[in-house]
Structure 1
Amino acid sequence: MALKLFIMALRNLWRQPRRTILTGLTFAVAVFIFTVLIAVPASMDLIAEDASRGIRLIVTERNNNSLPVKYCAAIRKIPHVLGCSPQIQWTGIYRDLRDPITTTGITNDIYTVTGSSDYSPPPAIAKQLANDRRGALIGSVLMREHHWKIGQPITLRNPSDGKMTLTFIPMAELPTIYLSRIFFFNRQLLDDAVKNAYGENIQNVAGFMSVRVDRAENLGLVANQIDENFHNSEAETQSVTESDTLANYVSAIGDVRTIIYSLCIVVLLTMLLIAANSMAMMVRDRVGEVAVMRAIGFTQVHAASLMLCEAAMIGVSGAAIGAALALWYFGAGMTLGALTGALGYVAVRPETAIEAILIAFIVSLAAAIVPVINAARIAPALAFRKVV
């Protein structure tokens, strides 16, 4: 019986093809928007989760100035510290002035702060990066955004300083979520460029330091020890966990999560109202049919099930189209723009798309249940009278 009702519902959908298509497209657009929106905080959570696995501290200068590279030697002597990597950042423009690219200069010390859960380039690539000052390791999303290729020279420039134009050679693509928009390069290239342009030696200067700790429970202890060691020094430090650094970065651009969830609620309510209006019109046109079904022996449950099945099929089919488009377009990741910097991007995952389809299924049933139940309860004789 259930199969027969399903077949009948499928045939009935095309009795009003225009209404069916328009309602389905409404679900498709709404689910596409909802899926992309909800993927933003989900992507941020995945990035933070990946960062927390590294068991690292980010050490910066308390007043946002630079740090002496020699601090790393002292930090390595602190108990529970496994490695320290001084790093420096430089921002350049590839083509669009509205899309600055933040690059990070590294040394071989970077491999002392990577763990088993982190991506590490093959030894041959790591050796090549150390020997070639133009070498770079670039995240997969950033590579795809700019259509860069491995081995293809990339020139970045400082728009306000013509002397600072650097050319890099991508040697490997970083596939992990956390590093999807990162740009690591051999900092010797920047050191030499600054020295040649201005005669300044910045080899002993770091923008920040990444420190790896043996266990997560020792992060706070090591952070306090680092800050105490350099208290009242030439450059006082501020040490926080890597995941907290990301959280502070996101909070600096506003309460993104609350805004996005509010927009999701608006999308759901809009979808519910449109679906409810469409379902009400569908049920109104089917009053006579329901009366005939009841007169020839169909129960209220059968009639209601048929119309609810039609509503669910419209919602799920439209939602599947919208979720599939979101997964196809954003599945591999896409930047959120310069506002969120090198770490901000959105990636729609299969589980997020499936959740959006389930929500659309629930919304379609919720929109149809009241008019369907009211129609199924009408006595056959009274339903015929309404038609006549």
Structure 2
Amino acid sequence: MYLPRLIARNALRHKLRTALTVLGLVIAVLAYGLLQTVVDAWYAGAAAASNARLVTRNSISLVFPLPLSYENRIRGVEGVTQVARSSWFAGTYRDPKNFFAQFAVSDNYIDLYPELILPPEQRADYRRDRRGALVGRQLADQYGFKIGDVIPLKGTIYPGTWDFVVRGIMEGRDESTITRQMLFHYEYLNESIRKKAVGKPDQVGVFILGIDNPDNAAAVSRRVDDVFRNSLAETMTETEQAFQLGFVAMSNQIIAAIRVVSYVVIVIVMAVMANAMAMSARERTTEYATLKALGFGPGFLSMLVFGESMLICIVGGAIGMLLTPPAASFFKQAVGGVFPVFTVSQETAVMQAACALVVGAAAAIVPAVQAARVRIVEGLRAIG
């Protein structure tokens, strides 16, 4: 029982140094957790995407739409159960900085997204209103939208001011569901294009496909693309997850840089911790020699150093891990909804704990070996 007491007393002998070391570990573990959470938030859309849904787009680029007439032909492909339309609107709300995702969709669009929960009465109201819109809970909370509110959007792709009436608020099935988007009637957009001549009517950005078996996603994708091969607008069909990852891939270098920085922080703190333990070991050379003279073996001395290092890292790591969730919540609010989903995952927490333990073990290796090898005569020579 005296070994843990000795370890605790050694750790508290230089209270200021220990406190500063613990503070450094707290900051490092906290920074690592936040940086990894940023990376997770970047992939949140792709992680929440379903392999049971396919996306059909123009094979050249998303910039080029597909003819509305493709819908019936896609519906006839073996393995396809549902086909919904979705066109990117790209309007701005009051100020260009207030930008969020808006999609003109067909009425069956929400049937393909069971993770979006909408009360039946709100859906009925939405269907009855030509200018009706559905907003996600995260978006409604961010801007204070309520049912019955009018949302004026200034079009960029489609010029002019477009007024939409909130008829429903979509809740997420769980915290991982992104609900920071607005949906409105594709027919309203298409009819307005015809009347205002602000674009070419009967064009669709992408088709969302429901399939009978997720295991047949690749085969169904090939069948759809084969239907339109050598046409004026060839298609590219892929799973929704692959479609989302295509957007994430555009930021791969940024994500890689964030990952590198998160590990660099840990390496720097490891060096600081190793230096602190080396200082402690040098200061206690005489004590280690005395303990050896009293009959304590090299293993006992190594455990003293190793235990002190692990204790400091466990305390610092635990505090850092406890502070990460509230810090993530504060960060999410501070950035103004840039990340719809910004929660600390269990994997991140496990990695934080692992990093703290690795730092503690690595920092203690050299000082522990030195303490075990100290010679009694050389150690006691410093007395007086």
- TM-score over 0.5 (shorter chain): yes
Helix, strand or coil: the match of 2:183? strand
Structure 2: distance between partners of 1:152 and 1:16:
64
- Residue 217 of structure 1: aligned partner: 215
Deviation at residue 234 of structure 1 after TM alignment: 5.1
Deviates more, 1:198-207 or 1:187-196: 187-196
AA of the residue aligned to 1:313:
L
Structure 1: distance between partners of 2:330 and 2:54:
29
Deviation at residue 67 of structure 1 after TM alignment: 2.3
Structure 1: distance between partners of 2:330 and 2:53:
27
Deviates more, 1:204-213 or 1:43-52: 43-52
State the Cα deviation string for residues 6-56 of structure 1 (Å, max 9, x = none). Answer: 233223322212111111111111112222223344455564343244x11
1:10 and 2:3 correspond: no
- Of all paired residues, the percent bearing the same amino acid is 23
AA of the residue aligned to 1:244:
A
**Unmatched 5+ stretches in structure 2:** none
TM-score, scaled relative to structure 1: 0.83
1:163 and 2:153 correspond: no
- Residue 103 of structure 1: aligned partner: 102
- Residue 85 of structure 1: aligned partner: 84
Structure 1: distance between partners of 2:334 and 2:211:
31
Q: Residue 272 of structure 1 is aligned with which of 259, 270, 273?
A: 270
Helix, strand or coil: the match of 2:90? strand
* Inter-CA distance 279–147: structure 2 relative to 1 (3 Å threshold): farther
Please tell me whether the aligned partners of residues 136 and 184 of structure 1 are also in contact (alpha carbons under 8 angstroms).
yes
- Residue 228 of structure 2: aligned partner: 230
State the Cα deviation string for residues 305-363 of structure 1 (Å, max 9, x = none). Answer: 2222221121122122222222223269949989xx98886532133113212221111
AA of the residue aligned to 2:245:
A
- Residue 126 of structure 1: aligned partner: 123
AA of the residue aligned to 2:313:
G
Please tell me whether the aligned partners of residues 227 and 238 of structure 1 are also in contact (alpha carbons under 8 angstroms).
yes
Deviation at residue 276 of structure 1 after TM alignment: 0.9
Q: Residue 374 of structure 2 is aligned with which of 358, 378, 382?
A: 378
Q: Residue 357 of structure 1 is aligned with which of 353, 365, 368?
A: 353
Structure 2: distance between partners of 1:125 and 1:354:
41
- Residue 284 of structure 2: aligned partner: 286
Helix, strand or coil: the match of 1:91? coil
Deviation at residue 377 of structure 1 after TM alignment: 2.4
Please tell me whether the aligned partners of residues 88 and 104 of structure 1 are also in contact (alpha carbons under 8 angstroms).
yes
Helix, strand or coil: the match of 1:65? coil
Deviation at residue 102 of structure 1 after TM alignment: 1.9
- Residue 248 of structure 1: aligned partner: 246
Aligned pairs (5 A) from 1:135-146: 135-138=133-136, 140=138, 142-143=139-140, 146=142
Please tell me whether the aligned partners of residues 30 and 324 of structure 2 are also in contact (alpha carbons under 8 angstroms).
yes
1:321 and 2:323 correspond: no
- Residue 70 of structure 1: aligned partner: 69
TM-score, scaled relative to structure 2: 0.84
Helix, strand or coil: the match of 1:347? coil
Deviation at residue 299 of structure 1 after TM alignment: 3.0
AA of the residue aligned to 1:369:
I
State the Cα deviation string for residues 220-259 of structure 1 (Å, max 9, x = none). Answer: 2222222232334453322122121122111123434533
AA of the residue aligned to 1:124:
E
Helix, strand or coil: the match of 2:78? coil
Structure 1: distance between partners of 2:360 and 2:150:
50
Q: Residue 33 of structure 2 is aligned with which of 12, 15, 35?
A: 35
Please tell me whether the aligned partners of residues 28 and 318 of structure 1 are also in contact (alpha carbons under 8 angstroms).
yes
Equivalences, count: 379
